[in-house]
Structure 1
């Protein structure tokens, strides 16, 4: 028997879901506020949580990272009366098991619950039999949920030879994660060969990648293995793969498919058993639309995707990063260990870090240079551009709604579509109020009059904030 938590501010919905869960042989508990629900989730181990989105004291979607860190790590099924594609995307990306509307049938809700429980049982069985080993993660610093999710993907990818595609802004550490995939895989004793696609000379690119035979071109005084051959038995890392010349992409696609290629000037094909990891900070889908990248090659690259978060989305890691690099630079330059003032750490967290970890490392080296013989680091030691941005952000305010800088009111009609939606919304709410009055606030009677199902009527009442009580 599984333990199920229902968090929904609609008492009727909680009662309905409680009966459904109990009818399926499980043990339900419910809460009508986010605060009470999260308190229950922290106090008791649950297998599945049914979570509403719009609650009186918060948004359910925003709590998903915290729920994921609970000791019981329950599966979360988002239930909402407002179908929102963006909300569905956010829920799935945040780790929710499913995202369903309250108007869904009992069969659909039950199926989602049972599938979540089946998955949970299967995952537990695998965890009990699987040999646990520590993940090698040199120079990947931090313990934030965002970073932890990426490291979980590294561990998954390392267990197979699947091609890995790492995305992220400049400076997020794509090569470090590529190396982590390699060093935790069965190929860790083989070569990790880096191909910097931004630095491939167009005239020698085929020779560098595929090698050449002696005399195949002017200056080829002896045969040479290319980078693809050097990766035999190991990992080939294509850094900034979006810069790979279009003329070479077709040839490289065949190498990925067959793991065979012909060196420049050669008369036979050579085999290379390599594992591919590629990385980019560019939008390759947009490049495909512009005719700058092959769609079939992207399909091959994106077998397993690891999307690295920017540093501004993992501020929990900044103090650990500061400690690591301060100690590292102190050791390098023969300096005494440094302490941090609270304001120093606060400034690190308030800055946006557009260059991500790479910018952070350079900034910390500048800080240690500025404070060589001082025992504590203060905001004064930070680079001027960081202090300026933080100071500006602290004093800037958005202009008041409806005002322009000169102080005049913007007199603007809504669009026709917005106006139509507002009228429709008001008419729908008015109808529902009249419906409940005509039905003496009896839901079954209201359903017969309106032709709506109970679940749909509940969803509409929730949408408009209408309760059964007068």
Structure 2
């Protein structure tokens, strides 16, 4: 028997779903608010959660990551009365099983529910991450890291091409290496090609090789890196930098597994697995005519998006210690401890350069504290300390100037009007309106007016955000 939780502020909807779940032989419970739903999810071992987006105390998408943080998290089916494509994308990226639009019918509910319960039966028989899985130095156990590793383990079981996306410095090459070492090709070569660092005129011959005299300077033949990757993995980093002509040729190689070296009259074969990575938005590049759509389809057979470091702050301690130990081993010096003040500063920083920036900061700090047994905040690079200090002072200044959230006086004023107690609905609306205006003002200040970023942070669709901008007159802000 499975356990199902319904989180929806509409009680008739909850009761209808409860009856439907009971009729097919499973146990269920419901909550009318996000807070109550999260509490019940944490107390109970639920298999499935039906989650409404518009809840009285929160946006459903904002609590989705919390629901998915358990060791064996429930599968979440989003319910919404609004057809919001951006919301649907955000839900899927945060681990939702499905996204259903109201009004709901038994048929619309039963099919995804039966599918997800069948999946859960299979899932309980297998661990999320195989015990033999080799992390290859990937540190951290936050939910974001665990989800990325689970997808990586799934991808390692097949030979399909894999597209790894993520901001610069998130560790795309390290994940590609882990993918290779956990695949059936682990005994073969792992060949890395940085498409951004090789001139476009040389990238073709670098990949496919050339015969002697094929072009000026080709004083001897070269077999190329595609052939060197035979029986192994070819990792193309920053594939977004590849020219359209070379993209066309790569597509044919992927289809035929045969190609002609530059200047050659014969074809050669190579049995390789392709893994590519980029920090660029390939979908947008397709729209702009800078990337081939057919190649993107071919590369996206399996996709893995790596989380930025600011979304995996729970990993900072373990990740920092791992990097410090590796650097100290390289220098041949004893391992150093991280002072608690250092970790507080690290957690307050957004790390735009991600793990790569963290590594550079720690290497510089270790050099400054070479003979010390512990790293202190004073050992951190001067630029980082200045930046953190300025950000802290800016936040304090904003806090001093910003209007307060509704306090006791405002609440009292909202309760009474002309000496009479207001109806609850009017009181609630006034308080919510003040809090909502404060929220959206701070949101757009934080995002510098960037609606796309605000949508990602708030979990709301762009159309909803534009309506709030108009409602509260935030255009100037």
Pairwise same-fold verdict (TM > 0.5): yes
Q: Deviations over 1:330-372 (max 9, x none)?
A: 3333444333332211110111111111111010011112222
Mapped partners of 1:384, 1:356: distance in 2: 18
8 A Cα contact 2:82 2:101, kept in partner: yes
Residues 390-444 of structure 1 deviation map (CA, whole Å, 9 limit, x = unaligned): 222222227658xxxxxxxxxxxxxxxxxxxxxxxx9xx9xxxxxxxxxxxxxxx
Find the counterpart in structure 2 of residue 197 from structure 1: 195
Match of 2:253 in 1: 255
User: How far apart are the structure 2 equivalents of 1:231 and 1:315?
Assistant: 36
Residue 346 (str. 1) matches residue 344 (str. 2) = yes
> Tell me, what secondary structure is at the counterpart of 2:265?
coil
In structure 2, distance between residues paired with 1:117 and 1:276? 34
Aligned length: 401
Instruction: Calculate the TM-score normalised by the size of structure 2.
Output: 0.77
1:366 alignment partner in structure 2? 364
Task: Give unpaired runs (5+ residues) of structure 2.
Answer: 404-425, 430-477
- Other-structure match for 1:236: 234
2:67 corresponding residue in structure 1: 67
**Counterparts of residues 64-463 of structure 1 (less than 5 Å):** 64-124=64-124, 127=126, 132-396=130-394, 397=398, 400=402
Give the superposition deviation at 1:225: 0.8
Cα distance in 2 for partners of 1:131, 1:202 equals: 39
> Does the Cα contact within 8 Å between 1:190 and 1:234 map onto a contact in 2?
yes
Greater shift, 368-377 or 247-256, is seen at 368-377
Instruction: Answer whether contact 2:38 2:66 (CA < 8 A) is retained.
Output: no
Contact 1:46 1:72 in 2 (8 A): no
Distance in structure 2 (CA, Å) of the matches to 1:8 and 1:299 = 37
- Secondary structure of 1:204's counterpart equals helix
Deviation at 1:37, TM superposition (A): 3.0
For 1:51 and 1:3, locate their aligned partners in 2 and report how far apart those are by CA, in whole Å: 14
| Counterparts in 2 of 1:391 and 1:215: CA distance versus 1, 3 Å | closer
Where 1:55 maps in the other structure, the secondary structure is coil
- Distance of aligned partners of 1:152 and 1:71 in 2 relative to their CA distance in 1, 3 Å threshold: closer
Single out whichever of 236-245 and 27-36 deviates more from structure 2. Answer: 27-36
| Structure 2 CA distance for partners of 1:303 and 1:71, relative to 1, 3 Å | closer
Shift of 1:298: 2.0
Tell me what 1:405 maps to: none
Counterpart CA distance in 1 for 2:63 and 2:168 is 29
Decide which moves more: 197-206 or 140-149. Answer: 197-206
Distance 1:192 1:198 in 2: 19
What does residue 24 of structure 2 align with?
Answer: 24
Query: Any residues of structure 2 matched to 1:47-58 within 5 Å, and which?
Result: 47-58=47-58
Q: Residue by residue, what CA displacement relative to the aligned partner does 1:189-219 show, whole Å, maximum 9, x if unpaired?
A: 1111111212333443333222223344455
Task: Provide the rounded CA distance (Å) in 2 between the counterparts of 1:288 and 1:305.
Answer: 17
Q: Distance in 2 between matches of 1:21 and 1:62?
A: 25
* Contact 1:262–1:270, Cα closer than 8 Å, also in 2: yes
Deviation at 1:131, TM superposition (A): 11
Residue 233 of structure 1: how far off its partner (Å): 0.7
TM-score, normalising length from structure 1?
0.78
* Secondary structure at the counterpart of residue 198 of structure 1: coil
* Larger CA Rg, structure 1 vs 2: 1
Partner of 2:378: helix, strand, or coil? helix
Change in CA separation of 1:348 and 1:31 when aligned onto 2, cut-off 3 Å:
same
* Secondary structure of 1:208's aligned partner: helix
How far residue 320 of structure 1 moved from its aligned partner, in angstroms, is: 0.9
1:44 aligned partner: 44
C-alpha distance in 2 between matches for 1:219 and 1:82: 62
Give distance in 1, aligned partners of 2:308 and 2:210: 40
